[in-house]
């Protein structure tokens, strides 16, 4: 079992009047950055990095980052900058990027270099995920939504080739063109850092992941459709003649642990307060229907069972004031939010693991209106009680993670580096 820690790094500004109970609209993409407070921004960036260091200390295997653009709910507009810092200030946990928004960049070769440098500086701790991005991302960086999937696949091919094929070579594709591909920095890991794919909606992406034997991570979706979507992965694998397992699938959801049930209830409610992702259930933001249906971004016909749930969560049944469907209570009931003391949280996590059978899980915590103290209390209790219990559970349920069983081969995972000679053990080790 691979256990990661995630928070979306919201820009929390109680004075802005946009968040909380003041009722000011936070329609997606309509919040002007004129409210941005530099001191607050600086302290929040450092807070979220500090929490990552503590998460490593508390025993998490992975520190997960994501990236969104032009929005207050995720401050990681340049996630690779945060990852670069983590590469230097942490020393054991994997740095899990879920992920770089592959279609968004006209120069994927720059990504090749950034990611290789992060892998180098971290001595091979990078997990390099790709995403396709939402309509917001296509608008913010003005990239053709209708070529999202084509650009995704072409950039992936280019990056993997640049990581694995000695240069220089030329690349004449449909969307990317290079006369000289020969990045000096190579990744530390061999053949290249693991590539994972998180998602929610697109059937094409999930099947593509299964074809590439790339682990697929479901993001905060309800359990039953999640299970159905993973079955598509497993069925695709079977058609391709290999047996996929827990190592091929991962699941992110909201888990908060606290000292008392009362405190857990109070703090858990903060998930749906403040500038949480307007694409997700129960928050106070308002979605922009045009962004959700940006032309050609995803095929309108080839969607996953998780889509209808995502669509409902995205304002399909928004009530008065734009408050979205699936309030806190309902998310607690369907296990997409688990908040409690270790004693109540652990059996609920077990239920999720038994139902979905993932090899990787990510606890999404410290979000919405949660404070640094809220996040740190939870991290401490996770480290002391929850993670050890979950590891035992995973052994008992036979849920190997992708660093135990290699998703690409189904064989025990072996780490290899790009060293020209076999790595030597130095006195420091």
Partner 1 sequence: MTTGTQAWTEQTVEAAGVQLQMVTGGSGAPLLILHDEFGHHGQLRYHEALARDFSLYIPSHPGFGATERQEWVMNMRDLAGWYLEALDDLDLGPVNLMGFSLGGWLAAEMASMSPDLFQKLVLVAPAGIRPSTGEIFDLFLVVAEEFLTVGFHDPEAAPEYRQVCPEEPSAELAEAWAVAREEACRLSWRPYMHSLGLPHLVHRLKRVPTQIIWGQQDNIVPVSAGQVYHESIPGSRLDLFDSCGHRPELEKTDEFVALVREFLSS
- Site residues (vs partner 1, CB under 8 A): 29, 139, 142-146, 288-291, 293-296, 300
For partner 1, give the closer residue by CB, 138 or 306.
138
- Whose Cβ is closer to partner 1: residue 144's or residue 404's? 144
Token pair 């094409």 is at which residue?
204
The least distance separating partner 1 from the CB of residue 30, rounded to whole angstroms, comes to 10
For residue 376, the tally of other CB atoms under 10 A from its CB is 17
- Provide the pairing of β-strand 360-364 with 126-131: unpaired
Smallest gap, in angstroms, from Cβ of residue 135 to partner 1? 9
**Measured from the CB of residue 315, what is the shortest distance to partner 1 in angstroms?**
12
Which of residues 30 and 182 has its CB atom nearest to partner 1 in the complex?
30
Nearer to partner 1 by C-beta: 8 or 204? 204
Do 220 and 253 meet the contact criterion of CB atoms below 8 Å apart? yes
CA 202 to chain centre: 16
Closest to partner 1 by CB, 124 or 316 = 316
Least distance to partner 1, CB of residue 146, Å: 5
CB of 218 to partner 1, least distance (A): 26
Query: How far apart are CB 104 and partner 1 at their closest, in Å?
Result: 13
**Closest to partner 1 by CB, 145 or 358:** 145
Q: For partner 1, give the closer residue by CB, 290 or 423.
A: 290
State which residue, 145 or 193, has the beta carbon closest to partner 1: 145
> Toward partner 1, which CB reaches closer, 14 or 295?
295
C-beta of 140: minimal distance to partner 1 in Å? 11
| Min dist. Cβ of residue 143 to partner 1 (A) | 8
Task: Give whichever of 141 and 372 is closer to partner 1, judged by the CB atom.
Answer: 141
- Spatial contact of 65 and 82, defined as CB atoms under 8 Å apart: yes
In the bound complex, what is the minimum distance in angstroms from residue 152's beta carbon to partner 1?
A: 16
Contacts of 414 (CB under 8 A, 6+ apart): 406
């Amino acid at each position: 079992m691979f256990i990661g820690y995630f928070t979306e790094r919201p820009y929390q500004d109680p004075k802005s009047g946009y968040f909380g109970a003041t009722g000011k609209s936070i329609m997606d993409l309509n919040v002007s950055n004129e409210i941005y407070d530099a001191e607050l921004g600086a302290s929040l960036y450092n807070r979220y990095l500090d929490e990552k260091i503590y998460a490593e200390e508390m025993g998490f295997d992975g520190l997960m980052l994501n990236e969104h653009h032009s929005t207050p709910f995720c401050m990681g507009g340049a996630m690779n900058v945060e990852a670069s810092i983590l590469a230097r200030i942490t020393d054991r946990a994997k740095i899990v990027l879920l992920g770089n928004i592959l279609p968004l960049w006209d120069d994927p070769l720059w990504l090749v270099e950034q990611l290789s440098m992060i892998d180098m500086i971290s001595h091979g701790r990078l997990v390099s995920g790709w995403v396709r991005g939402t309509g917001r991302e296509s608008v913010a960086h003005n990239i053709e939504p209708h070529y999202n999937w084509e650009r995704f696949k072409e950039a992936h091919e280019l990056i993997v080739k640049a990581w694995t094929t000695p240069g220089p070579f030329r690349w004449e594709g449909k969307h990317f063109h290079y006369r000289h591909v020969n990045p000096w920095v190579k990744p530390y890991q061999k053949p290249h850092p693991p590539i994972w794919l998180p998602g929610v909606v697109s059937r094409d992406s999930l099947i593509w992941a299964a074809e590439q034997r790339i682990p697929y991570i479901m993001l905060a979706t309800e359990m039953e459709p999640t299970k159905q979507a993973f079955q598509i992965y497993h069925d695709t694998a079977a058609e391709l003649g290999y047996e996929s397992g827990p190592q091929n699938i991962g699941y992110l959801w909201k888990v908060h642990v606290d000292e008392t049930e009362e405190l857990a209830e109070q703090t858990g409610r903060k998930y749906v307060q403040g500038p949480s992702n307007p694409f997700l259930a129960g928050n106070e933001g308002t979605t922009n229907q045009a962004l959700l249906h940006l032309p050609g971004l995803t095929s309108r016909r080839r969607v996953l069972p998780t889509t209808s749930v995502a669509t409902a969560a995205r304002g399909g049944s928004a009530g008065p004031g734009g408050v979205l469907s699936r309030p806190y209570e309902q998310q607690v009931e369907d296990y997409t939010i688990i908040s409690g003391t270790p004693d109540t949280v652990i059996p609920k996590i077990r239920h999720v693991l038994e139902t979905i059978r993932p090899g990787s899980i990510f606890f999404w915590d410290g979000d919405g209106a949660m404070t640094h103290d809220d996040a740190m209390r939870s991290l401490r209790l996770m480290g002391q009680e929850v993670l050890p219990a979950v590891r035992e559970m995973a052994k008992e349920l036979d849920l190997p993670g992708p660093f135990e069983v290699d998703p690409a081969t189904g064989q025990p995972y072996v780490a290899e580096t790009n060293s020209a000679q076999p790595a030597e053990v130095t006195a420091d080790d």
